[in-house]
Amino acid sequence: MLDYIIVGSGLAGIAFAETLLQNNKSFMVFDNHSQNSTKIAGGLYNPVILKRFSEVWNAKVQLDIADSFYKSIEEKLATQVDFKMPIYRKFFSVEEQNNWFTASDKPNLSAFLSTALINKKYNAIDSPFGYGEVLQTGYVDTVILLEHYHSYLRQINLLAESTFDYNQLQLFDDYLEYHDVKAKHIVFAEGFGVHANPFFKYLPLDGTKGELFIISAPELDIDVIVNTSVFILPLGNYLFKVGATYNWEDKTNLPTAEGKQELLDRIKEIITCDFEIVEHFAGVRPTVKDRRPLLGTHSKYKNLHILNGLGTRGVMLAPAMALDLYDYIERGKPLDKTIDVKRYQGAKGNRD
């Protein structure tokens, strides 16, 4: 009998699988690769909400856990996935500069916001008010992570690439059975796909569609991530990832003309050189109204668990949330009330 079945192998599923491996637990992953929010993610990790110059919830803990997590992944896969890179927040006024320096004096932000005004001039970007540098930032190449980790799971025969059929799941007091696989627990890490899950579809996971570009801009020479109304992330060879849009109505993975125009308009507000769109892609982020992840156990079936709702900060959240869920299931460590699905237990729709 296995210790776990994991449904989903995006950021959440990979983080939980790796946590199990580090603790010598047995498991099988099921995924039909229908969800692509991890693949299209910007992949940035950033401890500061730059619109308001405020700290991301539990940022230091998340960054510390993520740093060691991705290092261990890189050693295992023998490939780099974590790229340390400063984020420069472009200022548009003296008032924004002053707000930045006021925020940088706050104890919870001083480790993340540089007090030096960056006046570096980049070709094709007009920046008369300079930049503020966010510290302890970078990005995870989620495409490389997914490709290499899935390949690793295939090699050790732990990835079943098929659609999970909830009707075939049999639940017993001390274990569960799915086809010919028996396990003590199952963790659903399905992202927006949770809406098809009869056990957890009652949860208020809204989903927010995001659209991104890869552009080619030979005259743009930035060596940092520039953040304004969109982020511009240098990938090398004059290629840049640019994003992202936020659409709360459309729940498809298809790029749209509206999203394209919005990104074009925003890019042209930032850079003055010519550029070419190389790729245009879209996906639905697993976002929750209260902006907290969804972790915990089904109210009736004690061997059914969920790891979801990582939203726009998945690369930062996933390692810490996977560890929290593992400690909760295996060690009885209580979950933070703000992330525990018990906060929605009164909602209708729980499967009997």
| pLDDT tens-digit readout, 262-283 | 999 999 999 999 999 999 999 9
Give domain status of residue 49, yes or no.
no
**For residue 42, what pLDDT band results from cuts at 50, 70 and 90?**
confident
pLDDT of residue 349: 44
Q: Are residues 113 and 32 in the same domain?
A: no
Closest CA to 225 of 21, 46, 10: 46
Whether the CB-CB separation of 306 and 351 falls below 8 Å is answered with no
Residue 38 has pLDDT above 90, yes or no: no
Residue 106 corresponds to which tokens in the numbers above? 């706050």
**What 8-state DSSP symbol labels residue 279?**
E
Q: Among 285, 310, 330, where does a domain finish?
A: 285
Q: Is residue 11, in this structure, part of any structural domain at all?
A: yes
Q: Which residues are CB-contacts of 268 (< 8 A; sequence separation ≥ 6)?
A: none
Question: In the predicted model, is pLDDT for residue 134 greater than 70?
Answer: yes
- Domain boundary residue among 270, 285, 300? 285
> Residue 139 pLDDT > 90, yes or no?
yes
What pLDDT shows up at residue 347?
Answer: 52
Are the CB atoms for 312 and 287 separated by under 8 Å?
yes
The whole-number average pLDDT for the span 184-210 is 94
| Mean of all residue pLDDT scores within the chain | 94
User: Does residue 76 belong to any structural domain of this protein?
Assistant: no
Q: Do residue 10 and residue 129 come from a single domain?
A: no
- Do 212 and 271 lie in one domain? The reply is yes
Residue 48 lies in a domain: no
Cβ(91)–Cβ(129) below 8 Å: yes
Is pLDDT of 334 > 70? Answer: yes
- Amino acid identity for residue 320 in this structure: A
What pLDDT shows up at residue 345? 81
Q: Looking at residue 35, what is its pLDDT?
A: 74
For residues 228 and 188, membership in a common domain is answered with: no
- pLDDT of 95 > 50? The answer is yes
- 161 in the same domain as 36: yes
CA distances from 250 to 124, 261, 298 (A): 33, 16, 29
pLDDT score for 26: 98
In the predicted model, what is the mean pLDDT of residues 54-73? 95
In a domain, 58, yes or no: no
Whether residue 214 sits in one domain with residue 279: yes
Mean pLDDT of 217-245: 95
CATH classification of the domain holding 167: 3.50.50.60
Element (H, E) at 4: strand 2-7
The whole-number pLDDT of residue 41 equals: 79
- Domain identity same for 213 and 263: yes
Specify whether 294 is located in the same domain as 271.
no
The whole-number pLDDT of residue 40 equals 73
Answer whether residue 159 shows pLDDT above 50. yes
Whether 15 and 319 have beta carbons less than 8 Å apart is answered as: yes
**Is 80 exceeded by the pLDDT of residue 52?**
yes
8 and 104 assigned to the same domain: no
| Domain match, 277 and 293 both | no
Domain match, 11 and 27 both: yes
Report which of 312, 214, 220, 213 is spatially closest to residue 272, judged by C-alpha positions: 220
| Residue 24 in domain | yes
Rounded to an integer, what distance in angstroms lies between the CA atom of residue 60 and that of residue 58?
6
* Structure confidence at residue 346 as a pLDDT band (50, 70, 90): low
Range of the domain at 115: 86-136+208-285
306-335 mean pLDDT: 96
Most confident of 37-41, 107-111, 180-184: 180-184
Q: Is the pLDDT assigned to residue 79 strictly greater than 90?
A: yes
Query: At residue 348, does pLDDT exceed 70?
Result: no
With contact defined as beta carbons under 8 Å apart, do 258 and 181 qualify?
A: no
**Residue 222, domain CATH:** 3.30.9.10
Is 265 among the domain residues?
yes
Do 220 and 124 reside in the same domain of the chain? Answer: yes
| Token couple for 317 | 């959240």
Tell me whether residue 101 is in a domain.
yes
Q: What is the reported pLDDT for 192?
A: 92
Split into its structural domains, the chain has a count of 2
